[in-house]
Amino acid sequence: MLCIFGISGDLAKKMTFRALYRMQKAGTLDVPIVGVALDDWDDEALRSHARAAVEATVKDPDREALDAMLARLSYVQGDYGEAGTFERLKRALGDAAQPLFYLEIPPSLFATVVKGLGQAGLVDHAHVVIEKPFGHDFDSALELNEELREVLEEGQILRIDHYLGKEPVMDITYLRFANSILEPIWNRNFVSHLQMTIAEDFGVDDRGRFYDAVGAMRDVIQNHALQVLGLIGMEPPTGNDPDSIRDQKLDFFRAMRAADPERYVRGQYDGFREVKDVAADSTTETFAALELQVDNWRWAGVPFFVRAGKCLPTKCSEVTAVFRRPPQLGVGHGKTAEPNHLTFRIEPEPGSRMRLFQKRATGEEFEPADLEVLFEREPGSDPEPYERLLGDALNGIHTLFTRQDTVEQTWRVVQPLLDHPGKVHPYEPGTWGPAKANDIVKGITHWSDPWLPGT
């Protein structure tokens, strides 16, 4: 049994019904679904809302699969603060032995709902999926966890970071550990620095209220960016137990130095303050650029540069390792070749590219020669992040969910930046953020142009 709190909300409309429909079509959904929300709906109202949501997000949905998914839905109306809501839910759950509760509700209500579930005796063999953000800083993440742990064991809490459900993010782990040629060069002896970019070419649209309270650091860097860097930088997992990767990521984050506010630049796109529900004098960042350092044997002294933002020139998400420059020798007219790059592209068109240099055919100059691998895809049928993560949660597979120890470490790393955010610099939409962001990489490198399809 799957039970979704916040079924009438925006995330359900944009993502969840689509994921449930896709799971139904792929044959991986075989449980009844109860939706809970405050709206005065009944089963039929929920079904017609869900139908419209699928039709708006899936091109030509398969009628049979859609009807079968809708037939699984039923509705419980209620206020999350009232015991009666949970009594009604208990009746709807019947004798479900291991329910999965998915909380896609405002973070301020996580603890209320979990308490309500506990008081109604619904959590004994249950698992609870919690949407991000998990806390808004280090202390609040601890507090939230304490509240949840009054009712649940750590192993019952599944903290979602949808980036970990992206196929190309999983591809990173495969590329690193299915190829022994990478390991000898994957360290400070060969890598000069790393760069990660998460760029979006649109603004905050109708999410002004949410975003103004959060900003780029909390929205994508503390979670998505750091989780990806964890996979890029961790030691090889040992053994096959479900925690082997999560343990290595934890060690990597433990070795990460608390970020330095002097190595942090925030930007805000012109026009952000005019977005509905954004304060007219908002200083929230819609762009962030920073340097991170990892004090371990593999990475000491190798800067990890990260930038993320809204209203940038393109939508892309990638990580590049930049290798050390070769020495200047008697080739290339005495010039030094550019360093080699290895890029993992998460979006668009997932793949990886090793940039080598060769001799230009008609001259003596260096010319880029790229080895490109587009990750294996089955267009249309690859599981999407929410589909994958909900499926894993229903099947009791927890590997792709974040543990509390890791969440705490990532908040520890960014906490100095939250405490001392510094000034926010305006930038024009469609540019790579404020010019000040170049200070972060100055003297070491420049921000690399993203690897886009066809370039």
Catalytic residue positions, numbered: 224
* Minimum CB distance to ligand BG6 smaller for 219 or for 247: 219
* Minimum CB distance to ligand BG6 smaller for 200 or for 387: 200
Least separation in angstroms between CB 132 and ligand BG6: 6
Which of residues 131, 200, 291, 408 is near ligand BG6 by CB under 6 A?
200
DSSP H or E run through 354: strand 351-359
318 binds ligand BG6 (CB under 6 A): no
Least separation in angstroms between CB 385 and ligand BG6: 7
SS (H, E, C) 237-248: CCCCCCCHHHHH
Instruction: Of 116, 172, 160, give the one whose Cα is nearest residue 16.
Output: 160
Least separation in angstroms between CB 128 and ligand BG6: 19
Q: What would the two tokens of residue 72 be? A: 């699984």
* Minimum CB distance to ligand BG6 smaller for 200 or for 392: 200
Least separation in angstroms between CB 243 and ligand BG6: 24
* Minimum CB distance to ligand BG6 smaller for 200 or for 285: 200
Q: Which residue is nearest to ligand BG6 (CB)?
A: 219
x/- contact string, 88-127, with ligand BG6 (CB under 6 A)?
----------------------------------------
Task: Decide: residue 256, CB within 10 A, 0-12 exposed, 13-18 middle, 19+ buried.
Answer: buried
Sheet of 33-37, strands arranged across: 73-77, 33-37, 2-5, 100-103, 127-130, 157-159
* Minimum CB distance to ligand BG6 smaller for 219 or for 318: 219
* Minimum CB distance to ligand BG6 smaller for 219 or for 392: 219
* Nearest-5° Cα angle at 411, 406 to 416: 145
* Minimum CB distance to ligand BG6 smaller for 131 or for 291: 131
What is the spatial distance between Cα 214 and Cα 83, in angstroms, rounded to a whole number? 31
Task: Decide: residue 69, CB within 10 A, 0-12 exposed, 13-18 middle, 19+ buried.
Answer: buried
Beta-bridge partner residues of 424: 266
Q: Tell whether the torsion through CA atoms of 163, 420, 303 and 307 is positive or negative.
A: positive
Instruction: Of 194, 140, 149, 189, give the one whose Cα is nearest residue 319.
Output: 194
Give the Cβ contact number of residue 92 at 10 Å: 17
Least separation in angstroms between CB 211 and ligand BG6: 7
What is the spatial distance between Cα 228 and Cα 428, in angstroms, rounded to a whole number? 28
Task: Decide: residue 11, CB within 10 A, 0-12 exposed, 13-18 middle, 19+ buried.
Answer: middle
Least separation in angstroms between CB 315 and ligand BG6: 7
* Minimum CB distance to ligand BG6 smaller for 171 or for 200: 200
- Tokens 């609870």 identify what position? 128
Cα-based torsion angle of the residue sequence 169, 347, 202, 221 in order, rounded to the nearest 10 degrees: 30
Least separation in angstroms between CB 207 and ligand BG6: 7
Q: What would the two tokens of residue 52 be? A: 């419209």
Least separation in angstroms between CB 91 and ligand BG6: 34
**Is the Cβ–Cβ distance between 93 and 122 less than 8 Å?**
yes
Which of residues 131, 171, 212, 219 is near ligand BG6 by CB under 6 A?
219
Q: How far is CA 309 from each of CA 234, 285, 437, rounded to the nearest angstrom?
A: 25, 8, 12
- Which residues here bind ligand BG6, judged by CB under 6 A? 200, 219-220
